[in-house]
Amino acid sequence: MELIEKYISVSLFIAMLLVLTVQIVSRYFFSIAIPWTEELSRWLYIYIIFVGASEAVSRRDHIAIDIVPNRLSESANYVLDIMIHLVFAATSVVIIYRGYLFAQRMDRLGSITMDVQMSVLYMAVPLGFTLILIKSLLNVGTSFAALQDMRVNKKQLSPLMKTADK
């Protein structure tokens, strides 16, 4: 899924670059201002941001205060990570719901220069947070599996440690 997001991000970025190139060339070389290029490039940038945010959650590159995790044990770090990503998931559910309602209300409005409903722009929020929700739940599963694996390995090492002590 991360590879798909990467391709989407790169495709959106290339599209934005092409639109901005058309805008610059038409304005400075042909003295023609194409009005929809600026708005479309803004819309593409917004979608890039939301796809990129889900990539950051996937790679755990989001902004974090690491004073507490640096002082915790490895297992406590996994528990903290699970709690953090469950909060991400819960917040994402609320934002998806409210964002969808807001996008529906914007369906009555059209963009200024393009003949597209504004709901297409505002759907970037619920779509982006749907990706963040999926990535948060995957991170919860990964951390939970690592925590379980650590506990199983610790139980397997305990009898070995007792025989080594004798």
Give the pLDDT of residue 165. 47
> Is residue 137 a contact partner of residue 85, using CB atoms and an 8 Å limit?
yes
CB atoms within 10 A of CB 6: 13
Q: What is the pLDDT of residue 80?
A: 87
pLDDT at 163: 47
Query: What was the pLDDT predicted at 113?
Result: 78
d(CA 89, CA 76): 20
Which pLDDT value is given to residue 161? 44
- What is the crossing angle of helices 36-59 and 2-28, to 10°? 160
Helix axes 124-165, 36-59, angle to 10 degrees: 20
Mean pLDDT split into 10-residue runs, the chain, 166 residues: 84 94 91 88 93 87 77 83 92 96 86 82 93 93 86 63 47
Terminal CA-CA length for the chain? 50
Specify which residues 117 forms β-bridges with: 110
DSSP string of 77-136, one letter each residue = HHHHHHHHHHHHHHHHHHHHHHHHHHHHHGGG-B-SSSS-BHHHHHTHHHHHHHHHHHHH
Partner residues linked to 110 by β-bridges: 117
Residue linked to tokens 């991360």: 2
DSSP-derived 3-state class of residue 23? helix
